[in-house]
A and B are shown apart, each in its own frame.
Chain A
Amino acid sequence: MSAFGKQPNPQLNSHGELQHLLTIEGLPREMLLRILDTAAPFSEVAEREVKKVPLLRGKSVFNLFFENSTRTRTTFEIAAKRLSADVINLNISTSSANKGETLLDTADNLAAMQADMFVVRHASSGAPHLLAQHLAATGRDHIHVVNAGDGRHAHPTQGLLDMYTIRHYKTDFSQLTVAIVGDVLHSRVARSQIHALTTLGVPEVRVIAPKTLLPTGIERLGVRVFNDMREGLRGVDVVMMLRLQNERMQGALLPSTQEYFKSYGLTPEKLSLAKPDAIVMHPGPMNRGVEIDSAVADGGQAVILPQVTFGIAVRMAVMAMLAGN
């Protein structure tokens, strides 16, 4: 090992509690389980007539989206509002970033408006880490940072809501075989899922993709690599599909959507190789006919819409825990 670059985990405070949620990597198993346990009662809040609890009353949550995402931003907004926080949405891809203002300048300005929490999405891997380090270096570490997706690096709340979903349907992580299918190379979701699954003790995590969509050395994260989807799906309990971005569909990574669908699209026929009670997940938005057949997306094994519902409870849990630490 090299003697340099040893830094303490930047998302835990000196008591080992969650200060920021930047990535699932490095979080202890107990902490992941605590988040899932905390999320469970929040699911019930949604069933009530008054869908609100006062845990974040008087707190200001800034949704800092340097990359557009209606869906993720909306679920964070709903989660914060159900916790009674004041929510301010900023789509910075269309405002100051174009005027040359840096991430840290933007954050400094908002911090001066007494922000309590930043929910950050950014196109660059590591941007939320940079923000958390900057807040610590400037004595403002009472402001929490939640990573809502950074580059190809991490999307921890997505990873957590996926774990919540799996636990809801499958109960015991230690008995599962899980397959992640698609564009792992560019996917922050896949990286968060892999860390969450291995941390929670899933004995076999598989990734299924053509070689052009797999990062070099991915097996070092503790996954089994399959290039043949049929072989990879055999006997799995959970199929986690990844979204294939439009811009990747033609060019030097893949020849065409048709060929991709033929080899890596989830059809009823391929799904039949998994266990009969296997569940199918997708982080959305889906490309029907590209990575998933409509018959599967709308079929009885899909749990894609429950994922969205659970996502709000999990994000509530994360924000409530951070605000309490």
Chain B
Amino acid sequence: MKIHIKNGRLIDPASKTDKALDLFIAAGRIVGVGNAPAGWGVDGANSVLDATGCIVCPGLVDLAARLREPGFEYRATLESEMAAAAAGGVTSLACPPDTDPVLDEPGLVEMLTHRARLPEFAHVHPVGALTTQLEGKALTEMAELSEAGCVAFGQANRAIVDTQVLLRAMMYAATFDFPVWLQAQDPFLARKGVAHDGEVAARLGLAGIPVAAETIALATILHLARETGARVHVTRISSAAGVEMIVAARAAGIAVTCDVAIHHLHLCEMDLGFFDAHARLDPPLRSQRDRDALRAGLASGAINALCSDHTPVDDDGKQMPFDEAEVGATGLELLLPLTLKWAREMKLPLVTALARVTADPARILGVKAGSLGLGAAADICVFDPVAEYRVSRENLRSQGKNTPFLGYDFPGRVRYTLIDGHLAFDGTLS
């Protein structure tokens, strides 16, 4: 299969390219950038995709997408969420281990990656559980899990309460140079909390989670990272103070990366409105000041990547009083539009903004993705940056319709998504 993507504006953050260039694909790989490769042939491509008015960039790399398999198929299935990924231009994703059963055994990981191995499915990179059952007590068989396909080890949203276990888990992971992904939230300070401990929680009478829950856990993680030399990635940073600590730690020579979720980049505590359960997120939406620091931090590179933190929840899980509602929001299809919205509001060049959802997260994952260089896998997203995308129950392909952005229009509509040169999504058909 030979594909020619023509008349597009090619943006490849990995090579800092932003130029009108055609792309030539053969056998699932990029074989020509700008010019057709020698021997492209007189009959040329089997398929020509018109990218007039569109941006051609690497397929998005999402560091957090819950596929809900195994165990939570009533909320979402691999099929529904992979359709959502393709429609969102996401071609690689990491899935957290908080499935049921949790991803703490090689067999489960193999089953998941095997199930996900369809040409129209994004590349799935499981994050294995750092401790069995995510209980924070015993280490998992990380070497075996790595062989089964895990790219990193983490705890999803669950903390390791016992710091001695955390220290040893990081030491063990460091032995094999496995990355450790951790959310920084002290479980005691977060106990029973459902919202940022601030003005809005005070007004609505919701139990608060103070910023100190993040900074205290982060201090622990950073100290142990220095101690053990483990490669640490901090997931879903939520506060200005947290960003400052990451910057300071890096300046002190600790190799730490971090990401932020699309919701925290655009929303703050005010968006709880009248107890909108869609805004029930973990970590909680914090103050406007925190949100502004996250936006600036992602722009400067202090925060390395932007992720969807995709968490499909069924309606029953959200049709509850705020404190009883399930946590999370759907996000795979919003990652690109909300990246573009942030870039436009921050007046950032697209090549910088798109790096945070392509080349930068690919580097954190340690996989070959997020680049349009010659010979790279043809994981490509072609999108119209001007056409608006309406967030609605009908338009969302994810089984989760739970998002605080329902009803909004955002710029950026995906026209084509290619995975290994396979046309996984064709927006001209819908």
Contacts and interface: CB of A to CB of B under 8 A. Distances in A.
Interface in A71-104: 102-104
Contacts of A188: 205
Interface in B322-364: 322-324
B202 A124 contact: no
A151 B323 contact: yes
Instruction: Tell me what chain A mostly uses at the interface: helix, strand, loop, or mixed.
Output: loop
Contact of B204 (A1, A125, A134): A125
B324 A124 contact: yes
A122 B321 contact: yes
Nearest to B270: A2
Contacts of B321: 103, 122, 124-127, 130, 150-151
Interface in B186-229: 197-199, 201-208, 210
B208 A129 contact: no
Contacts of A25: 203
A125 B204 CA distance: 7
B322 A5 contact: no
B268 interface: yes
Interface residues of A, number: 33
Interface stretch (B36-44, B89-97, B274-282): B274-282
Nearest to B195: A125
B408 interface: yes
A152 interface: yes
B229 to A, nearest CB: 37
Nearest to A216: B197
Interface residues of B, number: 36
Interface in B144-187: none
Contacts of B198: 216-217
Contacts of A125: 204-206, 275, 321-323
Given A152-B206, A216-B210, A130 B270 contact: no
A218 B324 contact: no
Contacts of A102: 316, 319-320
B271 interface: yes
Nearest to A6: B273
Contacts of B277: 130
A324 interface: no
A282 interface: no
A10 B319 CA distance: 16
B404 interface: yes
A294 to B, nearest CB: 30
A103 B205 CA distance: 19
A217 B324 contact: no
A6 B276 CA distance: 11
Nearest to B210: A216
Contacts of A4: 266-267, 271, 404-405, 408
Contacts of A28: none
Given A126-B322, A127-B321, A130-B319, A5 B271 contact: yes
Interface in B234-288: 266-268, 270-277, 279, 288
Contacts of A124: 320-324
Interface in A181-217: 188, 191, 215-217
Contact of A191 (B203, B207, B316, B322): B203
Contacts, number: 102
Interface string B394-408: 000000000011001
B275 A130 contact: yes
A213 to B, nearest CB: 12
A104 B319 contact: yes
A4 B410 CA distance: 12
A221 interface: yes
Contacts of B322: 124-126, 130
Among the interface residues B208, B324, B408, which one has the most CB atoms of the partner chain A within 10 A?
A: B324
B205 A2 contact: no
A220 interface: yes
Interface string A1-32: 11011110010000000000000010000000
B388 to A, nearest CB: 15
B206 A7 contact: no
A182 to B, nearest CB: 15
A126 B321 CA distance: 6
B204 A217 contact: no
A2 B288 contact: yes
Contacts of A154: 205
Given A2-B268, A6-B273, A134 B319 contact: yes
Contacts of A121: none
Contacts of B207: 152
Interface in A132-156: 133-134, 150-154
Closest 9 CB pairs of A and B: A126-B275, A152-B205, A124-B321, A153-B205, A5-B271, A215-B202, A5-B273, A217-B199, A125-B205
27 contacts: A2-B270, A4-B266, A4-B267, A4-B404, A7-B273, A7-B276, A102-B320, A124-B323, A125-B323, A126-B275, A126-B322, A127-B321, A129-B274, A130-B275, A130-B321, A130-B322, A152-B206, A153-B204, A153-B206, A154-B205, A216-B199, A216-B201, A216-B202, A216-B210, A220-B199, A220-B202, A220-B203
Given A2-B268, A4-B405, A7-B274, 15 more contacts: A1-B288, A5-B276, A104-B319, A122-B321, A126-B322, A153-B204, A154-B205, A188-B205, A216-B199, A216-B202, A217-B201, A218-B202, A220-B199, A220-B202, A221-B202
